Structure 1
Amino acid sequence: MFMHNKRLQYTVRVAEPNPRLATLMMEQFGGADGELAAAMRYFTQGLAEDDPGRKDMLLDIATEELSHLEIIGSIIAMLTKGVKAQLAEGQMKEAELYQLVGSTGTSAKESILFGGGPALCDSAGVPWTAAYVDSRGEPTVDLRSNIAAEARAKIVYERLINITDDPGIKDALGFLMTREVAHQKSFEKALYAIENNFPSGKLPGVEKYANMYVNTSQGEGDTTGPWNSGDQWERVDDLQQVMPADGGDGTASVTLPAKDKKVATKMAERTMSDPTADPTTGADLGAGPGAGRTKGGDMGGAPDIHSAPAMAEATVGK
């Protein structure tokens, strides 16, 4: 059960309306790395969590994320207060209102449908979706995803701070940004409180493949480091050594029942290509300048405009 405290977790002081800035702030309201996505991610994880410590932590942080949604939404509401009033009361002339909607940087959806107030959209007006919640129900997976989500949100807040000179907004965003850091620390501690947390899940990796580093991008720029060299790795530079990795012939096969095998054979025979055929195709018949080499130039294919005869003809024409 939730109870709402009418005081914000952090005071919002906006110096002046700025609808364009409000549009950018929407990214942390209804965007992929925004506060609503974080709250829903941790809340649903917490409901399904069996460990009492992780459950308590997830529900604590989920609830705090809702308070952060309230803060960023309040910032947006203050930044768009003038636009919202003008659209609602219609005191400006039609042309002025039309210009107002376009010049603020808000989308028509935000201005007309939502009246300039905060909506569950990102900065491009794309509606929020539950697809942003990427939980898998395995704590070692979800905690790593949560750590990454907090890190991404921290970077978005950094960028929002950098594009405003409003001291009150900077102050509030700095608080929100720093809470992302604190949450990341909590998730890190929870992850490493799980013994044998890598690799994720119950099943162990196959030992001979777990130590293999395959250098598949070769050429200038090749670099070595602890991520691909040293005692932990068996580095493979000759790709023929691991193609295929299991030592088989590298083909795909399946054992079909007799009735399916018979039908599959018939289908293969019906759709078999003839490597000796060279039919005239639509590309040959409709070929124009720049089509490259086509079959039977006298059958409709136009000459290449960069060919010597074509260029000579063009020169004479001038």
Structure 2
Amino acid sequence: MFMHNKRLQYTVRVSETNPRLATMMLEQFGGADGELAAAMRYFTQGLGEDDAGRKDMLLDIATEELSHLEVIGSIIAMLNKGVKAQLAEGQMEEVELYRTFGTSGVSAKEALLFGGGPALIDSAGVPWTAAYIDSRSEPTADLRSNIAAESRAKIVYERLINITDDPGIKEALGFLMTREIAHQKSFEKALYAIEDNFPSGKLPGVAKYANIYVNTSQGEGDTNGPWNAGGQWDRIDDLTQTMPIDGGDGTASVGLSSAEEVAAAKLAARTASNPASNPRTGVDLGAGPGAGRTTDADLGGAEDIASAPAFAEANPPASVDTLTT
């Protein structure tokens, strides 16, 4: 159950309207790393969480993220207040009003449909989507994802702070950015409060592959570090050792029923390619400068391939009688 307090968690003071800045701020309102995405991610995780401590933490942080959505939305509304009034009241001449929107960074959708109000879109006008929520209902995976989400949001807030000189907005964004740090700390503590939190899930990894580092990108720029060298790693530089690494023959196989085997053989016979043919194609007929080499009768066109009839004779249509096993 929710009760709304009409006071913001942090006071919003905007010195002057700025529609272009408002458009950038939408990234943290309806964007992938924005406050709504964070709130929905933590709410859904919290509702499905069985551990009392994690459930309490997730619902606390989810609710606070909604208050942050209110703060960033209020900033957007204040930055757009002049544009909203001009659009609604038509105080400007048509050309002047049109020019205002054309140079302000406000999208047509934001201006015409939402009237300058904070909309659930990102800075490019892309609508918010639940696809931003990447929870897996496995706490060791979700908490790591949450830590990354808070880190990404902090970086976006840093960049927004860098593009405004409005002191009130800088202060509010600094508060929101810092709360991302605090939430990351909570998620880190919750993650490491789980014993044996790595790897995620229940099943252990296959022991013989868990310590292997495969140096698949070789050449200038090769660098050694604790991520690929040292006692923790069995490093493979000879890539032939990984093809295949399991000691098998490296091919794909499947067991087919008799009916499937008959059908597969018919398909293979019907779609077989003749490597001895050199058919004249539409590319040859329409070739012009820059086309490169094309089929030519003097170089062995389709009419010069004597083995084509032999290929057809050697690959008759498959029959059930010859393929049934």
1:178 matched to 2:175: no
Post-superposition shift, 1:263?
Answer: 0.7
**Residue equivalent to 1:309:** none
Per-residue CA deviations over 1:241-271 (Å, capped at 9, x if unaligned) read: 1111111111111001111111111110111
Per-residue CA deviations over 1:285-308 (Å, capped at 9, x if unaligned) read: 111111111112999xxxxxxxxx
**Residue equivalent to 2:213:** 213
Distance (whole Å) between structure 1 residues aligned to residue 205 and residue 298 of structure 2: 63
**Residue equivalent to 2:133:** 133
Distance (whole Å) between structure 2 residues aligned to residue 78 and residue 297 of structure 1: 75
**Residue equivalent to 2:157:** 157
Give the 3-state SS of the residue equivalent to 1:137 in structure 2: coil
Give the 3-state SS of the residue equivalent to 2:64 in structure 1: helix
Q: What is the aligned-residue identity percentage?
A: 81
Post-superposition shift, 1:79?
Answer: 0.2
Deviating above 6 A after TM superposition, structure 1's stretches of 4 or more consecutive aligned residues are: none
**Residue equivalent to 2:187:** 187
**Residue equivalent to 1:226:** 226
Per-residue CA deviations over 1:126-150 (Å, capped at 9, x if unaligned) read: 0000000000110000000000000
**Residue equivalent to 1:199:** 199
Distance (whole Å) between structure 1 residues aligned to residue 297 and residue 75 of structure 2: 68
How do residues 235-314 of structure 1 correspond to structure 2 at under 5 angstroms? Answer: 235-296=235-296
Distance (whole Å) between structure 2 residues aligned to residue 297 and residue 72 of structure 1: 71
Kindly provide the amino acid, as one letter, of the partner of residue 79 in structure 1.
Answer: L
Distance (whole Å) between structure 1 residues aligned to residue 287 and residue 69 of structure 2: 59
Give the 3-state SS of the residue equivalent to 1:11 in structure 2: coil
**Residue equivalent to 2:303:** none
Q: What TM-score comes out, normalization by structure 2 length?
A: 0.91
**Residue equivalent to 1:18:** 18
Give the 3-state SS of the residue equivalent to 2:213 in structure 1: strand
**Residue equivalent to 1:72:** 72
Post-superposition shift, 1:166?
Answer: 0.3
Distance (whole Å) between structure 2 residues aligned to residue 106 and residue 179 of structure 1: 28
Distance (whole Å) between structure 2 residues aligned to residue 151 and residue 298 of structure 1: 66
Per-residue CA deviations over 1:265-289 (Å, capped at 9, x if unaligned) read: 1110111100100001111111111
Q: Which runs of 5+ in 1 are unaligned?
A: 300-318
1:31 matched to 2:65: no
Distance (whole Å) between structure 2 residues aligned to residue 35 and residue 83 of structure 1: 24
**Residue equivalent to 2:322:** none
Give the 3-state SS of the residue equivalent to 2:235 in structure 1: strand
Q: 1:79 to 1:261 in 2, by over 3 A?
A: same
Distance (whole Å) between structure 2 residues aligned to residue 239 and residue 259 of structure 1: 40
Give the 3-state SS of the residue equivalent to 1:256 in structure 2: coil
Per-residue CA deviations over 1:193-249 (Å, capped at 9, x if unaligned) read: 001000000000001111000000000100000000001100000010111111111
Kindly provide the amino acid, as one letter, of the partner of residue 169 in structure 2.
Answer: I
**Residue equivalent to 2:59:** 59
Kindly provide the amino acid, as one letter, of the partner of residue 272 in structure 1.
Answer: A
Distance (whole Å) between structure 2 residues aligned to residue 294 and residue 219 of structure 1: 37
Per-residue CA deviations over 1:114-167 (Å, capped at 9, x if unaligned) read: 001100000000000000000011000000000000000000000000000000
Give the 3-state SS of the residue equivalent to 2:36 in structure 1: helix
Give the 3-state SS of the residue equivalent to 2:148 in structure 1: helix
Kindly provide the amino acid, as one letter, of the partner of residue 29 in structure 1.
Answer: F
Kindly provide the amino acid, as one letter, of the partner of residue 224 in structure 1.
Answer: N
Give the 3-state SS of the residue equivalent to 1:213 in structure 2: strand
Q: What is the number of equivalent residue pairs in this alignment?
A: 299
Distance (whole Å) between structure 1 residues aligned to residue 234 and residue 286 of structure 2: 55
Give the 3-state SS of the residue equivalent to 2:261 in structure 1: helix
**Residue equivalent to 1:314:** none
Distance (whole Å) between structure 2 residues aligned to residue 181 and residue 266 of structure 1: 62
Kindly provide the amino acid, as one letter, of the partner of residue 288 in structure 1.
Answer: G
